[in-house]
């Protein structure tokens, strides 16, 4: 970990600030503004759509987006202001993310998220799917209103990736090496694509240099993958109350994530369980024990560190700024989080 | 298909008749329209979407980007037509989702239902994602706005449909025909109307033409819904009475004329002791009132308005085909 710390205190003499503080001004009314985009006449449908925009989520994605926007604007012409269109991207990204969560909960038959009941648990699956569709259509409308066809293409890619990621999750690979590549591809599509492409989008809006767009994209992609890897670790190491959702959820869904795939190298008897997606009684508990006995958690965490390192390396190519430092610090926060 | 037909409103000849004179049967109308457009427009299989065929065609056409070749317009408007179909189908799929909490043991194993739901959500999402990607490729933000707002309308319309069927005590809503029309606009007309408008926007037609296309789409689909709702009431054969929705147009109009109390009374009488609906009895009751005739009038009224919108387009084969569609949906035995 120490090498990572020394890396983040790079040649910038800008003062350290908490990323959440830096982004706070721009994000202050984020959830209120999202709710304004959800123009729907029926009270109940409105209630359902507003349900997760209660301001209690981490707002991790919108924060990365506004920080990236500022970092790129500063890099281009020293402007620290976030353009209206860039802020819209933050809103749209959060809406797309939430719409996919609502559908994921129906698909996974989940009954709690963020410490409260899921939309499908309260209102039923039929209405939950409609609510997700509505949020997506509102996001798409807001996206169109930015009036930039490139930005539309960049963010629409996310919508496609999210669905393809779900389909990837349905399938599985026999070969161990293929499994890992498959896992990383799924992780990119389901989690990292949104962050990568929204970073790219705000960089396009803030700066004409394609090299900057690539930096933004790579930062987002690497941070996104790291984020998911840690999420997968927490599913094994954290307890349900703290997480806000049930633990060992991935195993119960039949999913073999990072820790499991690493553990399998030490305990080949896990292969059979992976192939049958932990469907036999006792599989989940056995797999969990194997993982905790193995170095699966450590390996996955180490991998996440390397992705964070890569994200830091990329973002360091931009002109120094408090926002750039905040984005670097954010990679550490990704590694350190416990829920 | 509608979009492609509208676009071709620049050649050919032929004036427009009024609705009351009747027209050719639906299937003939559709096959003639398909000849004009040049390809069968039935739903593309998922396999086709997953394969590279479409993208190959798209790639070839893409070479035309930046040129002034009129084929590019055609291709983009065709793409829009396919996008509309994708969205329509996505929601047909999403409508098939069941509420897990309402399942009974006679519905079979829970995990089958859960799996079915999972497939329905994913397939619907896949179709929608494809629609979004294709929309983005059209490189027209106004079109994305229009279609996105149409999707929002569709969701709200379907939401109303759902809410009705979940009522326990009441089999029928206390809504008048104007509320009915608002809800049907959302669930049945918005997508078509806005996609017709979008087709005009793609070809950079004026706001006036765009509005005419919208009006055609709106009124024609309204007629279509009314026509469809009327079928149980206008068919000659009486051996098998099909169940009909108590929130269909003739029933809603019948309620408006009769008053809610009298209508509820008729429903209860048709339900009898066993709580099983005698649809034949209820159908007779509705037929005896003014619901059916006024629904037919309303259908023809919307048909006329659709034709009026078409008048603004120059005569052509395509325009005639669009008119034939109106005649087909306003035709009653």
Structural domain includes residue A6: no
What pLDDT score does B46 carry? 44
Per-position DSSP letters for A302-331, written without gaps between them? HHHHHHHHHHHHHHTTSPP-HHHHHHHHHH
Contacts across the A-B interface (CB distance below 8 Å): 124
CA distance A261 to chain B (A): 25
Q: Residue B264: CB partners within 8 Å, gap ≥ 6?
A: B172
Contact predicate A101/A166, CB 8 Å:
no
Structural domain includes residue A11: no
Structural domain includes residue A13: no
Structural domain includes residue A110: yes
What pLDDT score does B21 carry? 52
Contact predicate B88/B130, CB 8 Å:
no
pLDDT per residue rounded down to tens, chain A (339 residues): 444 444 444 444 444 567 778 888 888 889 999 999 998 888 899 999 999 888 877 788 999 999 999 999 999 999 989 999 999 999 999 999 999 999 999 998 888 888 899 999 999 999 999 999 999 999 999 999 999 999 999 999 999 999 999 988 887 777 777 899 999 999 999 999 999 999 999 999 999 999 999 999 999 999 999 999 999 999 988 866 666 666 788 888 889 999 999 999 999 999 999 999 999 999 999 999 999 999 999 999 999 999 999 999 999 999 999 999 999 999 999 999 876
Task: Say if the Cβ atoms of A106 and B144 lie within 8 Å.
Answer: no
Structural domain includes residue A9: no
B147, closest residue in chain A (CA to CA): A141
Structural domain includes residue A36: yes
pLDDT, tens digit (0-9, with 9 covering 90-100), for B79-114? 898 999 999 999 999 998 988 888 888 878 888 888
Of A133, A137, A153, which is closest to B136 when you measure between CB atoms?
A: A153
Q: How many CB atoms lie within 10 A of CB B273?
A: 5
| Positions in chain B short of pLDDT 70 | 1-24, 38-72, 164-173, 236-240
Contact predicate B321/B4, CB 8 Å:
no
Of B121, B151, B152, which is closest to A129 when you measure between CB atoms?
A: B121
B98 contact residues in A (CB cutoff 8 A): 125-126
The three-state secondary structure class of A112 is: strand
Task: Say if the Cβ atoms of B132 and A141 lie within 8 Å.
Answer: no
Q: Residue B94: CB partners within 8 Å, gap ≥ 6?
A: A129, A130, A133, B120, B121, B124, B158
CA distance B160 to chain A (A): 9
CA distance A310 to chain B (A): 30
Among A40, A44, A121, A137, which would you mutate to test the B interface (most chain B Cβ atoms within 10 Å of its Cβ)? A137
B140 contact residues in A (CB cutoff 8 A): 149
Task: Say if the Cβ atoms of A124 and B100 lie within 8 Å.
Answer: yes
Report the CATH number at residue A313.
Answer: 1.10.600.10
Extended beta strands in B170-308, E state: none
What pLDDT score does B171 carry? 60
Range of the domain at A68: 19-336
Of A120, A149, A162, which is closest to B141 when you measure between CB atoms?
A: A149
B141 contact residues in A (CB cutoff 8 A): 144-149, 152
pLDDT, tens digit (0-9, with 9 covering 90-100), for B107-134? 788 888 888 899 999 999 999 999 999 9
A136 contact residues in B (CB cutoff 8 A): 128, 151
Task: Say if the Cβ atoms of A124 and B158 lie within 8 Å.
Answer: no
CA distance A154 to chain B (A): 9
Of B99, B144, B152, which is closest to A126 when you measure between CB atoms?
A: B99
Of A126, A140, A146, which is closest to B97 when you measure between CB atoms?
A: A126
B91 contact residues in A (CB cutoff 8 A): 133
Contact predicate B65/B72, CB 8 Å:
yes
A96/B contact by beta carbon, under 8 A:
no
What pLDDT score does B263 carry? 87
CA distance A204 to chain B (A): 17
What pLDDT score does B147 carry? 96
Into how many domains does chain A fold? 1
Contact predicate B199/B6, CB 8 Å:
yes
Quote the CA–CA distance of B325 and A209 in Å, as a whole number: 52
The three-state secondary structure class of A194 is: helix
The residue with tokens 């929601």 is B91
A141/B contact by beta carbon, under 8 A:
yes
Q: Is the pTM of this model over 0.95?
A: no
Quote the CA–CA distance of A68 and A202 in Å, as a whole number: 7
The three-state secondary structure class of A117 is: strand
Structural domain includes residue A332: yes
B118 contact residues in A (CB cutoff 8 A): 106-107
Q: Which residues pair with A117 in a beta bridge?
A: A112
């Amino acid at each position: 970990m120490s090498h990572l710390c020394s890396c983040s205190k790079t040649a910038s003499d800008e003062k350290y600030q908490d990323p959440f503080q830096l982004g706070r001004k721009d994000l202050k009314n984020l959830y209120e503004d999202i709710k304004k985009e959800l123009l729907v006449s029926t009270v109940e449908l409105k209630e359902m759509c507003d349900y997760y925009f209660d301001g209690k989520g981490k707002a991790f994605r919108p924060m990365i987006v506004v920080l990236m926007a500022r970092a790129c604007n500063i890099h281009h012409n020293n402007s620290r202001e976030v353009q209206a269109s860039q802020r819209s991207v933050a809103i749209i990204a959060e809406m797309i993310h939430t719409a996919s969560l609502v559908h994921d909960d129906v698909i996974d038959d989940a009954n709690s998220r963020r410490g409260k009941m899921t939309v499908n648990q309260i209102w039923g699956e039929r209405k939950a799917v409609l609510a997700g569709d509505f949020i997506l259509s509102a996001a798409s409308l807001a996206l169109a209103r930015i009036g930039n066809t490139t930005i539309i293409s960049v963010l629409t890619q996310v919508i496609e990736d999210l669905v393809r990621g779900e389909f990837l999750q349905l399938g599985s690979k026999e070969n161990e090496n293929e499994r890992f590549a498959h896992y990383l591809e799924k992780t990119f599509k389901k989690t990292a694509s949104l962050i990568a492409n929204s970073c790219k989008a705000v960089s396009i809006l803030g700066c004409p240099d394609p090299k900057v767009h690539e930096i933004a994209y790579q930062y987002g992609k690497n941070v996104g993958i790291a984020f998911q890897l840690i999420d997968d670790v927490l599913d094994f190491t954290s307890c349900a109350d703290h997480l806000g959702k049930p633990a060992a959820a991935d195993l119960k869904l039949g999913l073999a994530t990072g820790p499991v795939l690493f553990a399998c190298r030490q305990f080949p008897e896990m292969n059979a369980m992976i192939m049958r997606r932990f469907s036999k009684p006792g599989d989940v508990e056995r797999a969990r024990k194997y993982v905790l006995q193995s170095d699966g958690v450590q390996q996955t965490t180490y991998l996440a560190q390397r992705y964070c390192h890569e994200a830091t390396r990329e973002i360091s190519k931009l002109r120094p700024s408090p926002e750039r430092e905040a984005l670097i610090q954010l990679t550490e926060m990704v590694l350190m989080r416990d829920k | 298909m509608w979009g492609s037909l509208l676009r071709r409103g620049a050649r050919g000849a032929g004036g427009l008749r009024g609705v009351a004179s009747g027209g050719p049967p639906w299937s003939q109308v559709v096959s003639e329209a398909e000849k004009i457009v040049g390809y069968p427009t039935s739903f593309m299989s998922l396999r086709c979407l997953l394969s590279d065929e479409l993208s190959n065609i798209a790639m070839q056409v893409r070479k035309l980007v930046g040129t002034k070749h009129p084929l590019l317009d055609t291709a983009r408007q065709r793409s829009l037509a396919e996008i509309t179909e994708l969205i329509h189908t996505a929601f047909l799929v999403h409508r098939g989702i069941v509420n897990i909490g309402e399942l009974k043991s006679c519905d079979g194993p829970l995990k089958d239902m859960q799996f079915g739901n999972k497939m329905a959500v994913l397939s619907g999402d896949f179709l929608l994602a494809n629609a979004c990607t294709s929309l983005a490729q059209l490189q027209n933000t106004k079109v994305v706005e229009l279609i996105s707002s149409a999707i929002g309308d569709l969701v709200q319309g379907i939401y109303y449909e759902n809410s009705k069927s979940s009522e326990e005590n009441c089999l029928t809503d206390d809504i008048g025909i104007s509320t009915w029309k608002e809800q049907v606009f959302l669930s049945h007309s918005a997508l078509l109307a806005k996609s017709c408008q979008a087709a005009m926007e793609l070809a950079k037609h004026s706001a006036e033409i765009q509005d005419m296309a919208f009006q055609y789409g709106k009124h024609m689909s309204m007629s279509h819904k009314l026509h469809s709702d009327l079928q149980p009431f206008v068919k000659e054969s009486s051996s098998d009475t099909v169940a009909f929705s108590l929130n269909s147009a003739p029933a809603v109009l019948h309620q408006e004329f009769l008053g809610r109390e009298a209508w509820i009374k008729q429903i209860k009488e048709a339900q009898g002791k066993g709580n099983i609906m005698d649809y034949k009895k209820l159908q007779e009751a509705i037929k005896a009132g003014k619901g059916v005739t006024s629904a037919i009038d309303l259908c023809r009224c919307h048909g006329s308005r659709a034709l009026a919108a078409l008048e603004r387009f120059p005569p052509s084969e395509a325009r005639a085909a669009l008119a034939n569609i109106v005649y087909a949906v306003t035709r009653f035995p």
